[in-house]
Amino acid sequence: MAVRPDPELLLAVPEIPKGQHLTGSRRAHFIKQAKPAYDAGHSIRAIAAQATRSYGFVQRTLAESGIALRPRGSHGPRGADRHPRPSGGPEPCFNL
């Protein structure tokens, strides 16, 4: 069973009002709050929604902080390498 990330870490990410630039110490403070949330397992999209910033902004700030970003996509049993049909192929139909 997967462990759910701590919601308190996500709520600690500050909301940034629309149109405000984030530079210097305010940017460092944002990274300081966002990095533990990401390390705990929250997605970039969840952090971006909490901060009211774009996915790209959060991804760039995490990357520039030196954190190793997780790979994209699902890590479940039906990954691209275990898909039952070739990618782009038609869905199999067994109703004859």
Q: Is residue 1 very low, low, confident or very high in pLDDT (cuts 50, 70, 90)?
A: low
The answer to whether 40 touches 9, Cβ cutoff 8 Å, is yes
Contact 13, 44 (CB under 8 A): no
pLDDT greater than 80 at residue 13? yes
Q: What is the pLDDT of residue 89?
A: 59
pLDDT at residue number 17: 84
Task: Please write the tens of the pLDDT for every residue from 75-86.
Answer: 555 545 555 555
Summarize pLDDT for 21-76 with one digit per residue, the tens. 888 999 999 999 999 999 999 999 999 999 999 999 999 999 998 989 998 875 55
Supply 78's token pair. Answer: 């039906």
pLDDT of residue 18: 82
| Residue 88 half-sphere exposure toward CB, CA atoms < 13 A | 0
Handedness of CA 5, 67, 60, 36 (dihedral sign): positive
Whole-prediction pTM: 0.70
Instruction: Give me 50's structure tokens.
Output: 């909490």
